[in-house]
């Protein structure tokens, strides 16, 4: 089966109410009913739009099929001359997983912009080619940017980045208006084939995956009202800015590249996602009123709810204490805010486990919350007794001032497989992969720690806005 040829009214392409009916794939994920979008023989089911050309015109044979591969070529060009191209799947989609292999080959077309060297992309939630202006460079869409490494093997050029032509997203709980944002992927040099996957859950969640590793997560894709092309779409949608579906297209930005094994798995919009399966992918771990869903696992500290926060209090000489979620989690993204006294050593454990029964010793990777330390900020670094101490190596634990004593600080923790990443007040301070710890702690509780430093008689630490989304 290949990408289906269908005609849609432009105003419907980007609407949140979009539904796919004709020939839809089985949406039961357990059956893994992947459908080829590219038949390996021709471009049936796809429509080409090149800047300066009319819809359907394959300017200078830019897009072609050879040896079962969809190729982008410039051998018939004298110079690039701003001829940005896109080839659109004729069927729009909303909830799906899209996977393919891509690679860059040969030399960039003369006249191509410097930033477009070994640069292409997969455009999702896009407008139709018919709705684009003749001289429009890029469709209004969310771009999963594909980059290849430099020929000298130097520099960091992550792939499956995010670019937003005419759009915005919500990242780390905030509206993100930066045009291009790097993923956490490694750099891929040479002409090797790269396997990638994009998980799209309508307006709820988009996830970028390369070689099986999640490298970027964000939510609420939406139109930018300041962009002239997006503004037209907003008007046609009655003022609605949110994007819940649209076209899928592959880019031609002046560097030869190739695509193969392009497949899609359609998903039920109510099916479990990188979430708890609820309509909102985020689950509040704390209701702001009670400690329901939490159990103190050890220690003599006290925990209470005060002004919409969980407050833990310890005294001089008391041992570590942990208030843990009743539920265990494996791969997830966790957001919370924390405020501590400037003499308190605290932390949040992830995938923690207990020894000696339900009130035994708590053990697992710990995200540090350390304020007022003479040796500098350690907030956001990773520690685990199971690792014999610090998980974050000494050469990565550089003192920082991202944590603010006595004020509310925002944390973001992304734990996917053996990789754990931590952001403190929007600044990434940890990016660690530890296979050994992951093997011993693949899942576990979320634990809120209070720990006496012996510097004061009574110390408090408070947490609020604790929410999590599971990644499955």
Whether residue 188 lies inside any domain: the answer is yes
Reported confidence tier of residue 271, pLDDT bands at 50, 70, 90: very low
Tokens for 302, please give them.
């006290």
Over 90: is that where the pLDDT of 27 sits? no
The verdict on 204 and 331 lying in the same domain is: no
Strand 213-223 with 69-72, pairing: unpaired
Over 70: is that where the pLDDT of 273 sits? no
Whether residue 4 lies inside any domain: the answer is no
The verdict on 289 and 240 lying in the same domain is: no
Whether 249 and 429 have beta carbons less than 8 Å apart is answered as: no
**Total structural domains within the chain:** 2
Whether residue 275 lies inside any domain: the answer is no
The pLDDT tens digits of the residues spanning 413-471 come to 988 888 898 888 888 888 888 888 888 889 999 999 887 554 544 568 899 999 998 87
What range defines the domain where residue 160 resides?
10-266
The verdict on 230 and 312 lying in the same domain is: no
Whether residue 141 lies inside any domain: the answer is yes
Whether residue 213 lies inside any domain: the answer is yes
- How confident is the model at residue 156, as a pLDDT? 85
SS3 annotation, the chain: CCCCCCCCCHHHHCCCCCCCCCCCCCCCHHHCCCEECCCCCCCCCEEEEECCCCCCCCHHHCEEEECCEEEECCCCCCCCCCCCEEEEECCCECEEEEEEEEEECCCCCCCCCHHHCCEEEEEEEECCHHHCCCCCCCCCCEEEEEECCCCCCCCCCECCEEECCCEEEEECCEEECCCEECCCCCECCCCCCEEEEEEEECCCEEEEEECCEEEEEEEEEEECCCCHHHHHHHHHCCCCCECCCEEEEEEECCCCEEEEEEEEEECCCCCCCCCCCCCCCCEECCCCCCCCCEEEEECCCEEEEECCEEEEEEECCCCCEEEEECCCECCEEEEEEEEECCCCEEEEEEEEEEECCCCCEEECCEEEEECCCCCCCCCCCEEEHHHCEECCCHHHCCCCCCCCCCCCEEEEEEEECCEEEEEECCEEEEEEECHHHHHHCCCEEEEEEEECCCCCCEEEEEEEEEEEEECC
The verdict on 212 and 300 lying in the same domain is: no
What residues form DSSP beta bridges with 216? 208
The verdict on 181 and 248 lying in the same domain is: yes
Please say which residue of 266, 293, 309 terminates a domain: 266
Residue with tokens 């038949």: 39
| Separation of alpha carbons 36 and 21, rounded Å | 17
The verdict on 243 and 288 lying in the same domain is: no
What residues form DSSP beta bridges with 161? 145
| Separation of alpha carbons 363 and 351, rounded Å | 9
The verdict on 253 and 344 lying in the same domain is: no
| Separation of alpha carbons 18 and 26, rounded Å | 17
Whether residue 249 lies inside any domain: the answer is yes
The verdict on 26 and 141 lying in the same domain is: yes
The verdict on 19 and 99 lying in the same domain is: yes
The verdict on 380 and 260 lying in the same domain is: no
Residue with tokens 């794939």: 25
Lowest mean pLDDT: which of 13-17, 144-148, 176-180, 260-264?
13-17
Please say which residue of 237, 266, 295 terminates a domain: 266
CATH code of residue 152: 2.60.120.560
The verdict on 324 and 415 lying in the same domain is: yes
Whether residue 195 lies inside any domain: the answer is yes
The verdict on 131 and 235 lying in the same domain is: yes
Reported confidence tier of residue 344, pLDDT bands at 50, 70, 90: low
- How confident is the model at residue 388, as a pLDDT? 66
Highest-scoring range by mean pLDDT, 3-7, 300-304, 370-374: 300-304
Whether residue 58 lies inside any domain: the answer is yes
- How confident is the model at residue 153, as a pLDDT? 73
| Separation of alpha carbons 339 and 460, rounded Å | 9
Please say which residue of 200, 235, 266 terminates a domain: 266
Reported confidence tier of residue 316, pLDDT bands at 50, 70, 90: low
- How confident is the model at residue 452, as a pLDDT? 58
């Amino acid at each position: 089966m290949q990408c289906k040829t269908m005609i849609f009214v432009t105003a419907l392409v980007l609407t949140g109410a979009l539904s796919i009916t004709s020939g839809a794939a089985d949406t039961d994920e357990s059956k893994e009913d992947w459908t080829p979008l590219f038949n390996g023989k021709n471009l049936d089911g796809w429509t080409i739009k090149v800047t300066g050309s009319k819809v359907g015109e394959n300017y200078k044979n830019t897009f072609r099929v050879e040896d079962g591969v969809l190729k982008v070529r410039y051998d018939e060009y004298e110079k690039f001359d701003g001829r940005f191209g896109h080839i659109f799947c004729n069927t729009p989609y909303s909830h799906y997983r899209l996977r393919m292999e891509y690679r860059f080959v040969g030399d960039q077309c003369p006249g191509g912009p410097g930033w477009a060297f070994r640069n292409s992309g997969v455009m999702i939630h896009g407008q139709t080619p018919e709705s684009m202006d003749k001289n429009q460079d890029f469709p209004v869409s969310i771009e999963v940017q594909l980059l290849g490494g430099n020929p000298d093997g130097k520099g960091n050029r992550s792939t499956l980045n995010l670019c937003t032509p005419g759009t915005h997203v919500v990242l780390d709980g905030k509206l993100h208006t930066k045009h291009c944002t790097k993923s956490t992927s490694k750099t891929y040099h040479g002409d090797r084939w790269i396997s990638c996957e994009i998980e799209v859950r309508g307006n709820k969640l988009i996830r970028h995956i390369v070689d099986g590793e999640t490298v970027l997560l964000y939510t609420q894709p939406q139109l930018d009202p300041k962009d002239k092309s997006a503004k037209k779409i907003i008007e046609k949608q009655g003022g609605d800015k949110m994007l819940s579906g649209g076209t899928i297209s592959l880019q031609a930005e002046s560097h030869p590249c190739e695509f193969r094994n392009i497949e899609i798995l359609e998903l039920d919009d109510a099916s479990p996602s990188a979430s708890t399966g609820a309509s909102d992918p985020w689950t509040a771990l704390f209701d702001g009123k009670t400690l329901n869903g939490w159990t103190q696992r050890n220690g003599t500290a006290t925990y209470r709810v005060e002004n919409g926060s969980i407050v833990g209090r310890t005294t001089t000489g008391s041992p570590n204490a942990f208030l843990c979620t009743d539920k265990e989690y494996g791969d997830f993204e966790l957001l919370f805010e924390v405020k501590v006294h400037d003499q308190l050593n605290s932390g949040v454990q992830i995938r923690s486990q207990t020894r000696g029964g339900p009130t035994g010793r708590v053990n697992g990777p710990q995200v540090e919350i350390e304020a007022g330390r003479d040796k500098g900020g350690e907030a956001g670094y990773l520690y685990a007794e199971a690792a014999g101490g610090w998980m974050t190596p000494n050469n990565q634990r550089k003192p920082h001032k991202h944590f603010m004593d006595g004020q509310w600080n925002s944390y973001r923790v992304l734990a996917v497989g053996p990789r754990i990443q931590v952001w403190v007040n929007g600044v990434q301070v940890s990016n660690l992969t530890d296979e050994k710890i992951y093997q011993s702690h693949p899942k576990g509780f979320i634990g809120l720690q209070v720990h006496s430093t012996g510097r004061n008689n009574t110390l408090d630490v408070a947490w609020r806005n604790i929410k999590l989304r599971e990644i499955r």
